[in-house]
Structure 1
Amino acid sequence: MRPPTHILVVNGIKVRRPVFVLGAPHSGADLLARALKRSPGFHVTMGRAAVAHVVYAFARRPSIMRRKGGGAVRVLRDALAEAWQIIPGACAECPASCREAGGVTGGGPCASPGTIVRFGDANPDLLYSAPVLLQAFPDARFVQFIRDGRDVTTDMLADRVSMSWFRTSMLSDETEFPNPFLGVNSSEHRDRWTAMEPAGKCALRWRSAVRLSAALRQEMPAGQLLTVRYEDMAGSPGRTIATISDFLESRVSKVALYGTTAPKVGAWRSRLKPDQVTLVEKVAREELTRLGYL
């Protein structure tokens, strides 16, 4: 018999059909998070420490999610419940990117309990926790972003936070393999990964992320996962937001997308060096081809 669905209550509001935004680093998830945060009825967090700690623990050690007893589900649900609390000063605990996306200039809160009907989260690298999220919230809706791996690599190389994950210490003796977070399949590849150029490591992360995204499309229940191309969002934001609004059955504001400095499509052509392009296309050729980027 299937156990009864757990209904989470935050600030007296039942969490129903929460929205989770997924994607590889710099794939466009932050743009949708911005739109959701400024949409009526939504309370969306991104980068809260309580959630980030859990997400990165799952990403680095996937076996935690497979342990019996439902501990991973409870831990992630509790972390989100903490992140979604609407109390004075709550936004002071959010990273600058979350406060800016919500238009918060002080300590917050960025939302009023009386107006909230949908919760969501767009924490970076939430993708690796998607199976646990579905167990924690069986009625959740997921929007995942796909972007050209060469553009993703370009922006990752310029992002200090993204590059900090490529320290040699990341592949310690306690590292689990295969390691989807770094895109390393076996301990035998540790030395090759250590010696690889940064562009190649970025390509591995993107390749692994899109493989997880493809698996989710096969595993998620029908009607709960929408895949969006960043290039469509950049080229036709109004049309893309309309599609997302239909999927979520809630009006999503497209105003927040206009006037933002969104990464340009095809920026890799002028920002990546020829040898970097060659390396990225070698590492991720199969996925770049399957997705129509090559």
Structure 2
Amino acid sequence: MRLPPHILVVNGIKVRRPVFLLGAPHSGADLVARALKRSPGFHVTMGRACVSHVLYAFARKPSIGRGPGATRVLRDALAESWQVLRGSCGQCPEPCREAGGVTGLGPCVATNTVTRFGDASPDLLYSAPVLQQAFPDARFVQLIRDGRDVAVDMLADPECLAWFKPVMLSEGTEFPNPFLGVNRDEHVERWKGMPVAGKAALRWRSAVRLSATLRRDLPADQLLTLRYEDLALRPAQAVATLSEFVETRVSKVALYGRRLPKVGAWRTGLRPDDAGLVEKVARQELTRLGYLSS
């Protein structure tokens, strides 16, 4: 009998309750992915090209993600990413291999040990509605971090900075554009002339708004929101909460053994003008989330 369309089989294993880690850039999704990758039964991928190409296509042109074939395209990409083959880890970016403790080409897991799948590809957040349709039983963990600290790390990340080049908003760009945080085409010229700290604030602001939408639309048993600050300052409590949510014993060592960027790094990492711009652009969200006094 043919399996229902929402059941995906990878390596002979039915994909049930996959876990997807979401958040603005540098909000801590990679840290949680590191913990899950080292937890019993989990096979978590991060940034495989087959997935990233689809995610960025959906992010830059949202109408593609609303098309009839979007669900199948993303499911197929994830199925390819989750395949456990000889040398498969050689196709993973360095952060994924490092998180899994892989020194060669892999694979990082054995198929007979895998019971759960997950993905923490950068900017997965922008495909969350498609993931909901593709995997109705999925679990989502979204990470929230102070937008000012996020801006510090984004300004030091060449990959993030590459998205802020004026060419990224071309004539074919759709609006509103959550990925870059630009809502209308008449705002394009203003965006092009904005300092990069302001563009980082726009990306963070848009991401946390999407996170708020997910919190409103998804039932509590499918969505967990974690704060980066809790991961950094109270890792045992954060891991206990995560373990209960995903119904798996999550490794604490992955968090304890890693040096995390400091909470409040923006105080020394942002120039006063940049800090003021980030607070101006994202004031409403910073205030709503408790990072800025009203």
Specify the TM-score bucket, using the shorter chain as the normaliser. Answer: over 0.9
CA distance in 1, matches of 2:4, 2:280: 48
Structure 1 outlier segments of 4+, above 3 Å: none
Q: Which amino acid aligns with 2:22?
A: L
Q: Map Cα deviations across residues 56-113 of structure 1 (whole Å, 9 max, x no partner).
A: 011111111222x3x0000000000000000000000000010000000000000000
Matched residue, 1:121: 119
Matched residue, 2:37: 37
What pairs with 1:163-242 in structure 2 (closer than 5 Å)?
Answer: 163-242=161-240
Q: Secondary structure at the match of 1:20?
A: strand
The question of whether the paired residues in 1 share the 8 Å contact of 2:85 and 2:107 is answered with yes
Matched residue, 2:50: 50
The count of residues paired between Structure 1 and Structure 2 equals 290
CA distance in 1, matches of 2:220, 2:28: 23
The question of whether the paired residues in 1 share the 8 Å contact of 2:6 and 2:136 is answered with no
What is the Cα deviation at residue 183 of structure 1?
0.2
CA distance in 2, matches of 1:204, 1:194: 12
Matched residue, 2:87: 89
What is the Cα deviation at residue 231 of structure 1?
0.4
Q: Which amino acid aligns with 2:158?
A: R
CA distance in 1, matches of 2:215, 2:199: 25
Tell me the TM-score normalized by structure 1: 0.97
Tell me the TM-score normalized by structure 2: 0.97
Matched residue, 1:153: 151
What is the Cα deviation at residue 221 of structure 1?
2.7
What pairs with 1:233-272 in structure 2 (closer than 5 Å)?
Answer: 233-272=231-270
CA distance in 2, matches of 1:147, 1:73: 29
CA distance in 1, matches of 2:167, 2:179: 14
Unaligned runs of 5+ in 1: none
Q: CA RMSD for the aligned pairs?
A: 1.0
What is the Cα deviation at residue 259 of structure 1?
2.2
Unaligned runs of 5+ in 2: none
Q: Secondary structure at the match of 1:270?
A: helix
The question of whether the paired residues in 2 share the 8 Å contact of 1:5 and 1:138 is answered with no
Give percent identity, aligned residues only.
73
CA distance in 2, matches of 1:141, 1:97: 22
The question of whether the paired residues in 2 share the 8 Å contact of 1:89 and 1:107 is answered with yes
Q: Secondary structure at the match of 1:269?
A: helix
Q: Which amino acid aligns with 2:61?
A: R
CA distance in 1, matches of 2:76, 2:5: 15
